[in-house]
Structure 1
């Protein structure tokens, strides 16, 4: 993501889980990306536990779930539908990416930087909430058994 062309200063904080330490002086948080590795049940469990520490206003367009490992479906410990239900429950977009392949990794980075620019208010006429509405319109209808 740091290699992408961005009109504003881009700062990324990587954390294994939430909450973040309170004694750290950090900039405003514009976007939270929860990464779920479908090859690790621990990854899903860690995301589920971390979600409890996110303030409700962030779920108005500033939380995104990123699923990795879907390319090798036979090795998955977590089904993609589980991640889809989690994203639906929190009314947040779900992106899928193969991080092991450079072109896919670069495409995901471009997309995340663009989403971050919107969430930070750097795209005139588009807010995180309106972007969420646009992304929801592109999604298929949610499973009925939720």
Structure 2
């Protein structure tokens, strides 16, 4: 008997939840038009906005200048996509170099993502806000939040 009550409760729940959805109009216009989302190839350019708190963070201006020099563009064309506190799994800061040895202890740090010319670039730092461009990031950090 208990199984029958559970089945009836589940069926009632499905009916109630189904009734909570919005009614959609009939006809060909019922299909919503998807909203386009930008991809890494469609990122806006035009520089970091002053309202972005990451643009004013320590070390970010130096990383923006480094990327601008690397690409041969004006620093105003570099966009700060994100700045995140992370815990790197080892001393390579998620960017190991061939032939190098690294401490195997976790390292608190930051990951900065910059964009220019329709591409994103990863910059990594340890406890000091000195960012290094990482061409081949390999180790995923843990968010510290």
**TM category, shorter:** under 0.3
Structure 1 or 2, whichever has the larger Rg, is 2
- Choose between structure 1 and 2 for higher RCO, CA contacts under 8 A separated by at least 6 residues: 1
Q: TM-score, normalised by structure 1?
A: 0.21
Higher strand share: 2
